[in-house]
Structure 1
Amino acid sequence: MALTFPDRSTALRALTGRTAVMLAALVLPLAAGHAQTSPIAITVDASANRHPISPLIYGLNFGTADALRDLRAPINRSGGNSASTYNWRLNARNAGKDWYFESLPCDPQSINDQFGSSFITLTRAAGATPMITLSMLGWQARLGPDHGRLASFAITKYGPQQDNDASGFYDAGNGIAANGTPITGNDPHDAQTPASLTDEQARLRDLVRQFGAGGLPYIILDNEPSMWQVIHRDVRPTGAHADEIAKKIIAYSRAVKAIAPTTKVVAPEEWGWLGYHYSGFDQQYGNTNGLDHTPDRTGITQGMDYVPWLLTQWKAAGHPVDVFSLHFYPQDGVYSDSDTREVELARNRSTRDLWDPSYTDPSWIKSVVALIPLMRKWVNQYYYPGTPIAITEYNWGGEKLMNGATAQADVLGIFGREGLDIATRWATPDATTPVYKAMKLYRNYDGKGSAFGNTSIGAAVPDPDTVSAFAALRDTDGAATVMVINKQLEASAAVTITLAHLPDHGAVETWQLADNALTRLPDTHYANGALGATLPRQSVTLFILHNAGHG
């Protein structure tokens, strides 16, 4: 049976009433109508599951200088679909399917249009590490006279289409004919020009000339190559075979190392569940014929999943990839602005996709994902054990919602607890949003650089879909930090936090994000190895236990 794939928007990836911390195990009554028989028991154990938290998990995509500084973001990625078509000589890109397959000059005033040296300069000036993407697509944007836009599917050439750029470039169609069929046989030279490894080598040399051989700490090799036939079908209408991507990454990595030997190569940047298991060619084949007998899987990879097979090929070639990277976006409408109860509950649950081997994703995936353990298993089994793993694009939606903020806080806690090495959120949220403030709660909650701890310790909860918790030790001042996330849509949460292998009493500083306000609550103390609180619905609360020591 033929399989219809979801489109990218579906298959991928948009003080009042608060209660202060109570002494010891004292808990205030809950609001009427939300009765709770007993407090939710959270156990923090400073001797359990101790390991460093990589600071690089708090990264951004296209972070502005202000955002990088305010969030103390340590790493900043320039990537995405347009990075595949970036022409560094013209400072131009082709937007592909995202925007009418237009080639256009990059806007120097837009952070989202920074793919070159200006991005590196901005990022370094803000104290962060840049990640730049090289193109392997084989095509790059070209421009018309006076750096004018060009259209890959011009209506004047290919006829009426179902949609066009009505915002100012009316001739740019969406590549879908009026009868609903995709336009094929177009001339790829209409808006793009062939590019090669030699072109990207010249780009690298130019960057090294500007920033030095050590000025390019990370180079990403393209973006979601198994989606080229969808996003960039104007120039790559046929999906890439598995062996093409394996060979290209080996060749491009060698080119990078020849010019900048200390640069870490990041790949393969695949887009999601199907992209982990099937090549672009097989995904395209499966869209019409189903996935039972896909050509690459039955032939090239000999039954192996696509990404693990890539790892075997890279290992056989030496060590071309230094950081193993994937993208992930939750499904079933979670990656959206939706605030329906159904979606918000799904958003609460779906963070399990990052870690839980007992959670079956209920969307079209219909499988256990447990992404971080899966990535670690793949590099340990098929590549080099201990290879850093990165999720360089992720987004849990609900950017303007407290539900999105609780999800974002949960995700960052999971990254630290599960030992992820690098993460960069797609993209940087607006500073007025709850999601931005959730990120700030981890990195700069007081505006003075204070942050969640840097050594993860055990934090156990009975049901992470309703209330989750993460704990850490902070080397700078010896504090223990506990992040508690009440995901419940309507109910406040009475919690009791029991502390093990930590002093049984001490001072508590509390910061809380609720109703899109990040505030400091009155300082208190805890005693008898426990503290209690009633937390507002859809809130994130950070407890800083001062002078708690390291147990």
Structure 2
Amino acid sequence: MSALAQNSPGPAISVNPAADQHPISPYIYGMAEYGVTPKYQAAARLSVMRWGGDGTSRYNWIVDSSNAGFDWYFMGGDGNASPVPSAEPDALVAADNATNTSTLLTIPIIPYINNSAAWSCSFPVSVYGAQQATNPYVFPNGQTCGNSIASNGTQLLDSNIPVNNVANTPATQAAWVQHLVAKFGPGIKGGGVRFYQLDNEPFGWSNTHRDIMPNGATYATISTLGAEYAAAVKQQDGSALIFGPSDFTLGGWIGTPSQQNNLFAGQYYLQQMAAAGHANGRRLLDSFDEHYYFNFTDVTSQLASTRTLWDPTYNGGTWVEKYWFDGPMQLIPRFQQWIAQYYPGTRLSFSEYSIDSGHKLVTDAIAEADVLGIFGREQVALATMWNPPQPTDPIAFSFLLFRNVNGKGLAFGSTSVQTVSDDQGEVSAYAALQGPGALTLVLINKTTSNLTTPIRIAGQTGTTNAAFYSYGNADLTAIHKLANVPFSAGTGNVTLPAYSMNMLVILLD
């Protein structure tokens, strides 16, 4: 596509290195730990790895196993005859420490957790009868395991929860944190677990974990459980940072307002956690954490969907915008306003998000780069992308652009500064100071044309040649260093390849 692209004038970019300065959290460059290769983790200098998702809600650290719930036939255990307590998370923390990566670990707060490492399932056909689907691979004690939906479509109920589950308690999870502190040290020292997430998508328990929670949980219950388990974690490691409620896109943010003081679930949760923290004499929630899956149907809407994070003029067309928010999502400012009103001082994070089409497109890479730029500009504290890519997938290069663009550790700066694109829909622009004398500027061309874009950097009088790195459709296998871009008195012009993400490294006067 880029070979046929025509050169066109691009929007002007204005940068003021002295204005709107604020730190960029290093923890926005994270991923879920499933499937990330150690080599890529080190190369991309991923700052956080998350151990989370549906499969961690019922994890029992003592038997080092969980139950997959509705995601996979309610299978419990892993068949290990000699389980080692906390073996899987311990291995992750150790691996993260080896690459100077922080760990975000999920603490179950759901009322029941798995009780044995031996294979089991909640709905064996021998007990509950024929079901719409069964596990074709694993047969615990010769049993065929069903998906909990009878052949006629009826939702089955687990008639004996204690067979495969044991009651979860704050004391159980406190003992786990005690184990982690003893093994790795407290989180504040860098070797221990610094971030703990309070379960996973709790408003969806009635679906994912319908065997043990057929009626789900109200946000009053979710908030109460969250406060109890947060206090238990903090008692064992006062330096630990707690994230919650970590609920699912759209519905999980809203809950049932009539049961929540006529508030959205996120607002109510912040209100209740603030009250619980006051009663406890310490902060129990450090980061208001939610999940976000971007809504798009094609490459055009994919690239535009990043605007739902911040733009007060852009409506993504979701039902939550139409029926609940009464207008554009502007998600980050909205969540920040909730925090300011109900629990000031709480950070904002997205422990699960994705803008990946799954088709290994260049637009996946440039959309993800746009998201990373927005997270830094809008002061998000932590973010971990779901469904990590293979190292050769286009989206994998988005993290390399920001964290290791030249393969030798050159990264986007750590202090965000004022950056304006005359047309953010064509070219997104993000700038940051990298130490006292250098500016890094990320420019994302969202169009199918090569754009010649003028750049103006305020306060500059001298001449310099900016290093220019680019990734785009011309070669999806590598980031390339292109010819330097000359600047004189803070002014320069750069031609951005069609559908590309680019970084300029500019020495300042």
- The normalised TM-score by structure 1 is 0.82
**Counterpart Cα distance in 2 of 1:416 and 1:469:** 12
Contact 2:28 2:372 in 1 (8 A): yes
What amino acid maps onto 1:327 in structure 2?
H
Contact 1:133 1:222 in 2 (8 A): yes
The offset of 1:190, in angstroms, is 4.5
Contact 2:2 2:499 in 1 (8 A): no
**Counterpart Cα distance in 1 of 2:127 and 2:501:** 54
What amino acid maps onto 1:315 in structure 2?
A
Q: Please give the secondary structure, in 2, of the residue aligned with 1:184.
A: coil
- Identity %, equivalent residues: 32
**Counterpart Cα distance in 1 of 2:7 and 2:438:** 34
Q: Any idea what the Cα deviations from partners look like across 1:206-248, whole Å, max 9, x if unmatched?
A: 2222122342322211111111111111111112112111211
Q: Please give the secondary structure, in 1, of the residue aligned with 2:127.
A: helix
The counterpart of 1:155, out of the listed 115, 125, 133, is 125
Name the residue aligned to 2:248: 271
Cα distance change of structure 1 residues 466 and 177 upon mapping to structure 2, 3 Å threshold: farther
Contact 2:2 2:497 in 1 (8 A): no
Which deviates the most, 493-502 or 534-543?
493-502
Runs of 4+ in 1 over 3 A off after TM superposition: 167-170
Name the residue aligned to 1:312: 271
Determine if the alignment matches structure 1 residue 327 to structure 2 residue 282.
no
**Counterpart Cα distance in 1 of 2:458 and 2:371:** 25
The offset of 1:493, in angstroms, is 2.3
**Counterpart Cα distance in 2 of 1:95 and 1:369:** 32
Q: Any idea what the Cα deviations from partners look like across 1:30-79, whole Å, max 9, x if unmatched?
A: x57x574x332222222332211111111222155333311112222211
- The normalised TM-score by structure 2 is 0.89
Q: CA RMSD in A?
A: 2.2
Q: Any idea what the Cα deviations from partners look like across 1:416-475, whole Å, max 9, x if unmatched?
A: 111111111113221111111111000011111110111111221233233211111111
**Counterpart Cα distance in 2 of 1:103 and 1:114:** 16
Contact 1:91 1:106 in 2 (8 A): no
Q: Please give the secondary structure, in 2, of the residue aligned with 1:452.
A: coil
The counterpart of 1:91, out of the listed 64, 74, 77, is 64
**Counterpart Cα distance in 1 of 2:119 and 2:274:** 42
Determine if the alignment matches structure 1 residue 407 to structure 2 residue 377.
no
Q: Please give the secondary structure, in 1, of the residue aligned with 2:470.
A: strand
The offset of 1:189, in angstroms, is 3.4
**Counterpart Cα distance in 2 of 1:141 and 1:373:** 39
The runs of 5 or more residues in structure 2 that have no matched partner are 81-85
Name the residue aligned to 1:237: 214
Cα distance change of structure 1 residues 465 and 115 upon mapping to structure 2, 3 Å threshold: farther
The offset of 1:114, in angstroms, is 7.6
The offset of 1:497, in angstroms, is 1.7
The runs of 5 or more residues in structure 1 that have no matched partner are 1-14, 18-30, 108-112, 283-296, 335-341
Contact 1:253 1:321 in 2 (8 A): yes
Name the residue aligned to 1:441: 401
The offset of 1:168, in angstroms, is 4.3
Determine if the alignment matches structure 1 residue 531 to structure 2 residue 499.
no
**Counterpart Cα distance in 2 of 1:493 and 1:152:** 58
Q: Any idea what the Cα deviations from partners look like across 1:387-435, whole Å, max 9, x if unmatched?
A: 2211111110135111110110000000111111111111322111111
Alignment of 1:231-380 (within 5 A): 231-278=208-255, 282=256, 297-298=257-258, 300-317=259-276, 318=278, 319-331=283-295, 334=296, 342-365=297-320, 366=322, 367-380=327-340
Name the residue aligned to 2:378: 418
**Counterpart Cα distance in 1 of 2:500 and 2:55:** 36
The offset of 1:102, in angstroms, is 1.0
Contact 2:355 2:368 in 1 (8 A): yes
Which deviates the most, 231-240 or 365-374?
365-374
Cα distance change of structure 1 residues 504 and 274 upon mapping to structure 2, 3 Å threshold: farther
**Counterpart Cα distance in 2 of 1:226 and 1:212:** 33
Name the residue aligned to 2:112: 139
What amino acid maps onto 2:131 in structure 1?
Q
Q: Please give the secondary structure, in 1, of the residue aligned with 2:174.
A: helix
**Counterpart Cα distance in 2 of 1:161 and 1:114:** 34
